[in-house]
């Protein structure tokens, strides 16, 4: 069956970096785009962007240009999200999602605190 399994929770200090992974299984990874969605505690969903899993080309929403990088390890059917120079407002759950067909990772809680 199709699954997206994300890495575990992270606790970081401001200014540090974090890399979150999203491993896909049950389908051909390069056939479908992977999207990233942010949800701050008690808040709504915010679309961060997507990556073309065939070409590796990322597209970022305006609020996520600069410190956010989407990447792939296509041979491992894995998409990654790296956030650099972490800020308190990056504290959130980050979901990967294959929107076509509605498959979501379980979410990764990233906490940024000094």
Partner 1 sequence: DIQMTQSPSLLSASVGDRVTLNCKASQNINKNLNWYQQKLGEAPKLLIYYTNNLQTGIPSRFSGSGSGTDYTLTISSLQPEDVATYFCFQYNSGHTFGAGTKLELK
Count of Cβ atoms closer than 10 Å to residue 111 Cβ: 15
Q: How many residues bind partner 1 (CB under 8 A)?
A: 17
Q: Is 102 in the site for partner 1 (CB under 8 A)?
A: yes
Region of residue 49 (left: phi > 0; alpha: psi -120 to 50; beta: else): left
Residue closer to partner 1 (CB basis): 20 or 37: 37
Q: Helix-strand-coil percent breakdown of the chain, rounded to 5?
A: 10, 50, 40
Residue closer to partner 1 (CB basis): 89 or 102: 102
Q: Is 89 in the site for partner 1 (CB under 8 A)?
A: no
Q: Is 45 in the site for partner 1 (CB under 8 A)?
A: yes
- Angle at CA of residue 13, ends 47 and 48, nearest 5°: 10
Q: Is 18 in the site for partner 1 (CB under 8 A)?
A: no
Q: Which two tokens stand for residue 52?
A: 């073309």
Q: Which of residues 20-39 bind partner 1 (CB under 8 A)?
A: 35, 37
Cβ pair 24, 77 in contact under 8 A: yes
Q: Is 70 in the site for partner 1 (CB under 8 A)?
A: no
Q: Which of 41, 44, 66, 75 binds partner 1 (CB under 8 A)?
A: 44
**Site residues for partner 1 per CB under 8 A:** 35, 37, 44-47, 50, 61-62, 95, 97, 99, 102, 104-107
């Amino acid at each position: 069956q199709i699954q997206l399994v994300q890495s575990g929770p992270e606790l970081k200090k401001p200014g540090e970096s974090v890399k979150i992974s999203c491993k896909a299984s049950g389908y051909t990874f390069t056939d479908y785009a992977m999207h990233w969605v942010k949800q701050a505690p008690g808040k709504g969903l915010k679309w961060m962007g997507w990556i073309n899993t065939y070409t590796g080309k990322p597209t970022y929403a305006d609020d996520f240009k600069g410190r956010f990088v989407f990447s792939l390890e296509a041979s491992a059917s894995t998409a990654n999200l790296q956030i650099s120079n972490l800020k308190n407002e990056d504290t959130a759950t980050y979901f990967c999602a294959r929107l076509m067909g509605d498959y979501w990772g379980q979410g990764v809680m990233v906490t940024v605190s000094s």
